[in-house]
Structure 1
Amino acid sequence: MASKLNPYIGFADDARQAMEFYKDVFGGTLTMSTFGEYGSGDGPDKDKIMHAQLETDAGFTLMGSDAPEGMEHSKGSAITISLSGDDRDELRGYWDKLSSGGGTVTMPLEKQMWGDEFGMCTDQYGTAWMVNIAGEGQGQSQG
């Protein structure tokens, strides 16, 4: 099996909502475990997500968790996730969902000087995304 790069996003208290949102965006199977299921009992973290994993039909794996009490959290600033390929409809669908519902477009998804369509947005949970759709006849996309 080849190595895989799996983005892991840290959340303050909204990992469940964010991971369910990403499941709506990308589809697939989402599994989540809480701190309470693994020994936190009735503590303040019992309902927070200790680990969530989304396995999509497209082959993506996206993971995330809530920061337990006492652990510092910096919302979305340490990661940008890049999606690239040549399936226009699929990538545009992801873009539309990620940038809507409270998301912010920082660079519109449009044709760039290198021939691809490229855009950047921040979703409603503070995670930055880049989407790159390979131009016609491009063998390999940027990003």
Structure 2
Amino acid sequence: MSVTLNPYLSFRDNAREAMAFYQSVFGGRLESSTFGDMNMAQDPAEADKIMHSSLTTDNGFVLMASDTPSSMALDEGSSYSISLSGDDGEKLRGYWDALLDGGQMTLPLEKAPWGDMFGMLNDKFGTSWMVSIAGQAS
């Protein structure tokens, strides 16, 4: 038996665009279904919106998302961040640069007091990211 924890992002009308962007950043296989595909569109104008999307990467990342129907509230708060961390500095810097394209840096990716390289940004879809590159062991 196994258990997984996956980020699941909610968007208002741009989940398809956001997930294509994340696929361009992380690679992997993107699968999406619309409200229309599942016969779940209460409003015919929302039939082409994403009911469920899943990006699975070669690194084992799984990122999920959907559009929130206009009949439902969407709280676009800043109470979460997705964290990318590890010791592959080149790969993590590449993710940082790609996620920053069109986004806004909130904390530069630089050496932190605890020895790691650390930075924070909000991508062009408003998703908050933290990137941490492990420092050299003493």
Q: Please, what TM-score do these two structures have when normalized by structure 2?
A: 0.94
Report if aligned partners of 1:76, 1:128 keep a CA contact under 8 Å in 2: no
Amino acid at match of 2:49: K
What is the total number of aligned residue pairs between the two structures? 137
Q: Deviations over 1:3-54 (max 9, x none)?
A: 2210000000000000000000000000000000011287121010000000
Aligned residue runs from structure 1 range 81-100, under 5 A:
81-100=82-101
Partner of 1:111: 111
What is the Cα-based RMSD across aligned positions, in Å? 1.5
Partner of 1:57: 58
SS for the counterpart of 1:44 is helix
Give 1:73 deviation, angstroms.
1.0
SS for the counterpart of 1:118 is strand
| Divergent runs of 4+, >6 A | none
Partner of 2:126: 126
Amino acid at match of 2:96: W
Q: Please, what TM-score do these two structures have when normalized by structure 1?
A: 0.91
Unaligned 5+ runs, structure 1: 139-143
| Larger displacement relative to structure 2 (41-50 or 16-25) | 41-50
Give 1:76 deviation, angstroms.
5.3
Q: Deviations over 1:57-113 (max 9, x none)?
A: 11000000000121111235343100110000110000000011x200000000011
Structure 1 residues 110, 127: closer, same or farther in 2, change over 3 A? same
Partner of 2:27: 27
CA distance in 2, matches of 1:115, 1:136: 8
Partner of 1:8: 8
CA distance in 2, matches of 1:95, 1:120: 9
Aligned residue runs from structure 1 range 67-78, under 5 A:
67-75=68-76, 77-78=78-79
Identity of aligned residues (%): 56
SS for the counterpart of 1:75 is coil
SS for the counterpart of 2:71 is coil
Unaligned 5+ runs, structure 2: none
